Structure 1
Amino acid sequence: MAAAAPPLRLRAAVESDLDAIAALYALEVREGVATYEYDVPDRSEMRRRWRAIVEAGYPYLVAERIEDGAARFAGYAYASAYRTRIGYRWTVENSVYVEPASHGCGIGGALMRRLIADCTALGFRQMVAVIGDGSNAASVALHERLGFKLAGVFPGLGRKHGRWLDTVQMVLPLGDGDVGEPDPGVPGLK
């Protein structure tokens, strides 16, 4: 019988989380293809990005595994503007990153379920997943389990680590989705 996963705490990210967030993102920039960024942003840039997202009214979450009474950073997720034009203000793009040691423990799913709930409560109507490298089966499967549907695959849209990479876009309706009138007071572009 497999051991039960340690308890998990999800909460809003705070400035003291930025070192762990920056380190996890730096690993993905250097070694992965979930982001097509080439240069690792320093802590001040990560702080600027975090503040911009939070000040615009989007949720930014941290997951902590509780082990032996101590909280250990396990990952983060946030929503941000899908595009900057005003007509997209009811649509968010999600980002989720999980520490390699915590892959397969349900942390990405827990973060995403909370992010979806928070974005729905804020009045957003669509969530888009932009998945770097179409071969990222784990991310595609996670989003499918959460109800996201394939919107499209863009072949060779990005280039990193000496190869062309496909980009997958998936979409999830939030609340009433594209039916009815949206809340004019939704955060984001105002």
Structure 2
Amino acid sequence: MLEEEYETRRRLPRRLRSPEEPEAPFSYMLRDARIADLPHILAIYNHYVANSTVTFDEQPTRLRELRAKFQHLVKLGMPYLVAESPSGGILGYAYVAPWRERAAYRYTGESSIYLGPAATGKGLGRVLLAELIERSRAVGIKELIAVIADQGAEASIALHESFGFREIGRMGRVGYKFERWLGTILLQKSLR
């Protein structure tokens, strides 16, 4: 008899077993991102650079590059937030950047959301996107754009669509990563 079979047979019936420990609730607090958060944000982002096609970056971002981008977005008054665990770890982050730098685009932003690997599948992306939409409205953003890879990001597309983003276009074969061609799907939500 295999050891696994023996273990299965030895188990008490469910009614006689002691109750299992409930899983600790997933808790966090949303707040504005700070410079001190950047090494944690960098680790989350670079995980996706190395392991996925949700970003088309192929080389890890450096802290000084992230710091410059963060300071630019803060100077512009764009929303940049983090989800922090009770122990102080950063579980995920979200921000809005200008869609384009030309002045006529000043009311349009591009949203980005990244979750740490341990924080996926727990509803945190939904909470971050809801807060990002509200904060975008508060700073005068009228249109939000999401640019999502056309492969490997089905959950992100579904999340955005559940918030009323609608597909406005596709660009095929515009990126090449991990020895394959990738496209993007553009989604848009009006905040008016």
Same fold (TM over 0.5): yes
- Aligned mate of 1:161, from 151, 169, 178: 178
Which structure ranks higher in relative contact order (CA pairs < 8 Å, sequence separation ≥ 6)? 1
- Aligned mate of 2:138, from 121, 138, 143: 121
The share of aligned pairs that are identical, in percent, is 37
Q: Which runs of 4+ in 1 moved over 3 A?
A: 2-5
Q: Where do 5+ consecutive residues of structure 1 fail to align? A: 177-190
The answer on whether the counterparts of 1:33 and 1:133 sit within 8 Å (CA) in structure 2 is no
CA distance in 2, matches of 1:4, 1:120: 34
The answer on whether the counterparts of 1:134 and 1:168 sit within 8 Å (CA) in structure 2 is no
Q: How far does residue 147 in structure 1 lie from its aligned partner after superposition?
A: 1.2
- Aligned mate of 2:91, from 70, 74, 77: 74
CA distance in 2, matches of 1:133, 1:40: 21
CA distance in 2, matches of 1:134, 1:33: 7
Q: How far does residue 7 in structure 1 lie from its aligned partner after superposition?
A: 2.2
Q: For residue 34 of structure 1, what is the aligned residue in structure 2? A: 54
Q: How far does residue 142 in structure 1 lie from its aligned partner after superposition?
A: 0.8
- Aligned mate of 1:44, from 64, 69, 72: 64
The answer on whether the counterparts of 1:92 and 1:127 sit within 8 Å (CA) in structure 2 is yes
Matched position secondary structure for 1:75:
strand
Q: For residue 85 of structure 2, what is the aligned residue in structure 1? A: 65
Q: What TM-score, normalized by structure 1, do the two folds share?
A: 0.85
Matched position secondary structure for 1:71:
coil
Count of residues in Structure 1 that have an aligned counterpart in Structure 2: 172
CA distance in 2, matches of 1:92, 1:56: 11
Q: For residue 182 of structure 1, what is the aligned residue in structure 2? A: none
AA in 2 matched with 1:48? A
CA distance in 1, matches of 2:139, 2:45: 26
Q: How far does residue 157 in structure 1 lie from its aligned partner after superposition?
A: 1.5
Distance 1:127 1:5, change over 3 A: farther
Q: How far does residue 4 in structure 1 lie from its aligned partner after superposition?
A: 6.7
Bigger proportion of residues as helix:
2
The answer on whether the counterparts of 2:53 and 2:152 sit within 8 Å (CA) in structure 1 is no
Q: Residue 15 in 1 paired to residue 35 in 2?
A: yes
CA distance in 2, matches of 1:59, 1:30: 26
Q: For residue 173 of structure 1, what is the aligned residue in structure 2? A: 190
CA distance in 2, matches of 1:147, 1:98: 21
Q: For residue 156 of structure 2, what is the aligned residue in structure 1? A: 139
> Deviation per CA, 1:118-171, whole angstroms, max 9, x where unpaired?
010111100000012344101101101111111112111211111100101100
Distance 1:4 1:128, change over 3 A: farther
Distance 1:134 1:87, change over 3 A: farther
- Greater CA deviation, 146-155 or 14-23? 146-155
CA RMSD of aligned residues (A): 1.6
The answer on whether the counterparts of 1:95 and 1:129 sit within 8 Å (CA) in structure 2 is yes
Q: For residue 101 of structure 1, what is the aligned residue in structure 2? A: 118
